[in-house]
Amino acid sequence: MTANAAARPSKSGPGVTRPSNLPLSEAEFERLMERIGPFEAEPEIAVAVSGGADSLALALLGADWARARGGSVVGLIVDHGLRPESQTEARQVADVLHQNGIGSRVVTWTGEKPRTGIQAAARDARYRLLADACHEDGILHLLTGHHAGDQAETMLLRAGMESGFRGLAGMSLIQSVSGFGTSGVGPSWPRLLRPLLSVEPQRLRATLQDRGQNWIEDPSNKDRRFARVRMREALAGDIQTQVETAGRIGAIRAKEEATVARFLARYAQIYPAGYLVVEAAAFGDAPMELRSAGLARVLACIGGRPYGARGPGLANLTASMAGGLTRVHTLGGCLVAPISEQQILICRESRNIERVPIGRSDDAALVADWDGRFRVRLFGANSGTLGPLGAKDGRKLGPGRFAIPEVARRSLPALRDENGLYAVPHLGYWREKDFQGTVQMDFLPRYPLVPAYFAVALAPSDPI
């Protein structure tokens, strides 16, 4: 453990907490929390705590804030299991929280770990585990310790990847995270909140020093093999300029996303079976930028992917929709097909969808995020597989009571055992004599059609 804080005075911009070696006050933190409200009268919040200075400072500040309102905080600690000492470190973090009167819970990433892309896989696992824990405990708000330095690094990394102005807006104060917990209560969307995005990291260390609280330094934060570490060194303390720029770009992104959300709410109809119908004339007549942004969001949602399509493929499909779609297109794992002169159907392709093996689940519910689209909960299911229905069985079963189009039926989740197909809930099909269990399949895409609005961390000093 260490407790060394850097002290460096520098300028501050509008909406940015003043960078210095001063601890973050309770009044300042209260104003930061006001920007990410509303909260219930006696707020229950979760804080992702790694034991590092940023998340630990957030946990202590968040606990004071919640207690003052009759609420409570739980620290969620993720043990990735990537290093031999990770379990011991997780217990140490739990002990620190306990000493400060904060309850905690350790969630563990189990199973085989990938050999490549380990940081990205660990990040995805971390958010999934955190969302699951919130879902199981009925907590609506998940706070993370991302700060101004993280925002600056994110912006520069995305600039290097040529991610466009949406990427250059950096991280939003508020984001939705899909929860797939085992409580069986139903789909959950805890809000991911980043109240410290405008706070420079040295102030968080000063906050801990002021309380006499040590923290854990993660050795990976100094490993130059990782792009973020090299980016942090390149910034050399010049964080504010990057963060203020991200704030200005974020204000533009927020306006665009609000426009796209209104457009989709008016002209797109989404169905529980995981497909969507849009009004052809509205999409064809819309400005190219609006049509492109709306289409990218639709493809991400229906395709079960975290990001929308982009590049020449999106540009070509956007242009085709302007003149009236005349044939079936594929993009982003989706089929885009005209079903009449007035309507266009967008559904998941049935190709490249994983068939997941399942064991019999008599004693406990089996819960899975299938294909990034459906939350599946099974109890008493037969041993077999969970996979797409397919064209042959889709035609055989027909449209079902909800009149699902044939092309959309192909990618519906279906259960099979050694005797073949035994359950397709969306079509109302059950092989009655062979199955007496319970199945719940909710369309809960990894990327919702209209996500939480992009909340800008800074108020730009210059007019847009």
* Residue 15 to residues 27, 156, 402, 453, Cα–Cα distance (Å): 15, 21, 50, 19
Instruction: Tell me the average pLDDT across 130-142.
Output: 90
- pLDDT tens figures, 357-406: 887 766 666 767 899 899 888 887 778 899 999 999 999 998 888 899 99
- Contact 173/246 with Cβ under 8 angstroms? no
Confidence check: pLDDT of 277 > 60: yes
Instruction: Tell me the average pLDDT across 22-39.
Output: 93
Which DSSP state fits 434? G
pLDDT band at 208 (very low <50, low <70, confident <90, very high): very high
Calculate what percentage of the chain has a pLDDT beyond 90.
Answer: 45
pLDDT band at 124 (very low <50, low <70, confident <90, very high): confident
pLDDT band at 452 (very low <50, low <70, confident <90, very high): confident
pLDDT band at 65 (very low <50, low <70, confident <90, very high): very high
Instruction: Compute φ and ψ for 223, nearest 5 degrees.
Output: -85, 110
User: What pLDDT is attached to residue 146?
Assistant: 95
Least confidently predicted of 99-103, 175-179, 249-253, 283-287: 175-179
pLDDT band at 421 (very low <50, low <70, confident <90, very high): very high
**Exposure of 430 by Cβ count < 10 A (0-12 exposed, 13-18 middle, 19+ buried)?**
middle
Confidence check: pLDDT of 196 > 60: yes
Least confidently predicted of 89-103, 152-166, 197-211, 338-352: 152-166
Mean pLDDT computed over every residue of the chain: 84
Place of tokens 């399509």: 309
User: What pLDDT is attached to residue 115?
Assistant: 79
Place of tokens 């609006």: 290
> Which of 260, 345, 257, 347 is CA-nearest to residue 301?
347
The pTM score is: 0.77
Q: Is 45 helix (H, G, I), strand (E, B) or coil?
A: strand
Is the pLDDT higher at 457 or at 289? 289
Pull the structure tokens for residue 52: 């590092």
Pull the structure tokens for residue 35: 């920007």
User: What pLDDT is attached to residue 228?
Assistant: 62
Instruction: Tell me the average pLDDT across 188-200.
Output: 86
Confidence check: pLDDT of 220 > 80: no
pLDDT band at 432 (very low <50, low <70, confident <90, very high): confident
Confidence check: pLDDT of 12 > 50: no
User: What pLDDT is attached to residue 72?
Assistant: 95
User: What pLDDT is attached to residue 361?
Assistant: 66
- Nearest-angstrom CA–CA distance, 380 and 401: 25
User: What pLDDT is attached to residue 221?
Assistant: 62
User: What pLDDT is attached to residue 13?
Assistant: 42
User: What pLDDT is attached to residue 180?
Assistant: 42
Confidence check: pLDDT of 423 > 60: yes
Count the alpha carbons within 13 Å of 379 in the hemisphere toward its beta carbon. Answer: 8
Confidence check: pLDDT of 7 > 50: no
Instruction: Tell me the average pLDDT across 93-118.
Output: 91
Least confidently predicted of 53-67, 213-227, 294-308, 316-330: 213-227
Is the pLDDT higher at 323 or at 347? 347
**Exposure of 304 by Cβ count < 10 A (0-12 exposed, 13-18 middle, 19+ buried)?**
buried
Confidence check: pLDDT of 433 > 70: no
pLDDT band at 234 (very low <50, low <70, confident <90, very high): low
